[in-house]
Structure 1
Amino acid sequence: MLIFDADDTLWENNVIFERVIDEFLDWMVHPELDRDGVRAVLDGIEAANAVTLGYGSKVFLHSLGECLERLRGRAATAQESARIAGWAAAFDGGRVELIPQVAETLAELARRHELLLLTKGDTEEQEQKVTASGLTRHFRGVHIVAEKNVATYEELTRAYDLVPASAWMIGNSPKSDILPARSAGLNAVFIPNDHTWVLEHDELDPGDDKVLRLSAFDELLRHF
């Protein structure tokens, strides 16, 4: 069984958030903090909100508003709130940009193996992206979860009666795709994405021979 992450593994996702953050940082001039300082405040707010509110564009826009209020020491004005709300248009789930060779590679892998899709975030938002991707037909099951932790992988293993040592989790996030899957006994394939969200970064054990590291998605065909 091959289990695939979605955002930033099958299609580009965080690059859209980064474009909005760049615009936010251009706008959010602070008398004492430079861009890196403002970004650090925003990262801290996002990390806290991910725990209590989850993921997705709505939580992200909420975090931008919270960051503005914290840095300016007051509530956002109607004009400021409207500007933040206007960034929602960047996250139109009706279209996605597939990463190169994903469609062709998945089509071939689906002829060789059973595939699952495992993604986290806002259910409605993720469903829209999965549908827009046109990839659903390749997967035996599509699972949208609030968090991808060890318990998530253990539950998926039980649901499909998987032998962990024969299953592979494929993704770009060390924090959500690789480390918890390995802790649950699965193998993993790490395919880095230059735009991976900073909060999804983590250190991988270079000596773990159950983690296959690839540089491009279509390299999967040489191993599976």
Structure 2
Amino acid sequence: MSRTTTPQVLIFDADDTLWENNVLFERVIEDFLDWLDHPTMDRHQIRGVLDDIETANAVTHGYGSKMLLRSLHDCFTRLRDRPATTTEHARINQLATALIDHQVDLIPGVADTLTDLGDRHALLLLTKGDVEEQRRKLDASQLAHHFRDVHIVTEKDVATYRDIIARHGLRPSTTWMIGNSPKSDIVPARAAGLNAVFIPNDNTWILEHAVFDESDNQVLALRAFTDLLDHF
């Protein structure tokens, strides 16, 4: 695909597309595994238990640092077969403070690329998770002014994309969803009739992995965020 001269609508994911996110969660999980030091289960087995707990908690409690913290407590209770003591509870909470206090680290080239793209195209932001937490990250990123509208949703599924299309009166043929998650950004966007841009991130959360049709001509796979300028 060569650089288009026709104005497009570009919808951007946030976490792990505009700024690093899951790498911070992974550091917390690694610290938790170090601290837990289970007597009979190795790290891989414990991580499998935690992944299952996170999958279940995401359905009822959404996404973000609060869900991870709940999952760490639930994982401790399941593996120790007892609730955490006051001291243990405080230690688990302490492990997750980095997620709350950490400053946002933008993906290289994001700010300049958005500035350039915004001169030619309409930019929207679509992110899922806790509203307060996502707003805090967006404010810290200083990127909000690039977007004509910001949508923070509990889940990014086909219904979500159809709602965005209807709300903004979008033409699917000139609208692109841009993100790192096959599960949330590529598969449901294509099912809703939008084009998609896949920009992989090595630290994408395992629960965001999914298979999509790599031969699909309406899915553009790029190596880096700045490569968007070669196409839009």
TM above 0.5, yes or no, is yes
Of 38, 44, 58, 2:46 maps to 38
Q: How far did residue 28 of structure 1 move?
A: 1.6
Is 1:80 aligned with 2:110?
A: no
Going from structure 1 to structure 2, the CA distance change for 1:89 and 1:194 (only over 3 Å counts) comes to same
Query: What residue number does 1:62 align with?
Result: 70
After superposition, what is the alpha-carbon deviation per residue over 1:98-153, rounded to whole angstroms, capped at 9, x for unaligned? 00000010000000100000000000000000111111111000110000000000
Query: What residue number does 1:96 align with?
Result: 104
After superposition, what is the alpha-carbon deviation per residue over 1:52-106, rounded to whole angstroms, capped at 9, x for unaligned? 1101101110100000010011111111100111123211367200000000100
Query: What residue number does 1:107 align with?
Result: 115
Counterpart Cα distance in 2 of 1:120 and 1:144:
5
Counterpart Cα distance in 2 of 1:87 and 1:14:
15
TM-score (norm 1): 0.98
* SS of 2:70 mapped into structure 1: helix
After superposition, what is the alpha-carbon deviation per residue over 1:157-212, rounded to whole angstroms, capped at 9, x for unaligned? 00100011210000000000000000000000000000000000011212211110
CA contact (8 A) 1:191 1:213 kept: yes
Query: What residue number does 1:211 align with?
Result: 219
* SS of 1:92 mapped into structure 2: helix
Is 1:14 aligned with 2:14?
A: no
Counterpart Cα distance in 1 of 2:119 and 2:92:
45
The runs of 5 or more residues in structure 2 that have no matched partner are 1-8
Counterpart Cα distance in 1 of 2:93 and 2:189:
36
Counterpart Cα distance in 2 of 1:210 and 1:28:
45
Of 183, 198, 207, 2:206 maps to 198
Counterpart Cα distance in 2 of 1:184 and 1:70:
39
CA contact (8 A) 2:54 2:71 kept: yes
Amino acid in the other structure paired with 1:222: D
The runs of 5 or more residues in structure 1 that have no matched partner are none
Query: What residue number does 1:168 align with?
Result: 176
Counterpart Cα distance in 2 of 1:53 and 1:60:
10
Counterpart Cα distance in 1 of 2:184 and 2:73:
26
Identity value in percent: 63
* SS of 1:205 mapped into structure 2: coil
Query: What residue number does 1:181 align with?
Result: 189
Count of residue pairs the alignment pairs up: 224
| Cα RMSD, aligned residues only | 0.9
Going from structure 1 to structure 2, the CA distance change for 1:22 and 1:88 (only over 3 Å counts) comes to closer
CA contact (8 A) 1:93 1:125 kept: no
Query: What residue number does 1:121 align with?
Result: 129
Is 1:131 aligned with 2:151?
A: no
TM-score (norm 2): 0.95
Counterpart Cα distance in 1 of 2:137 and 2:29:
21
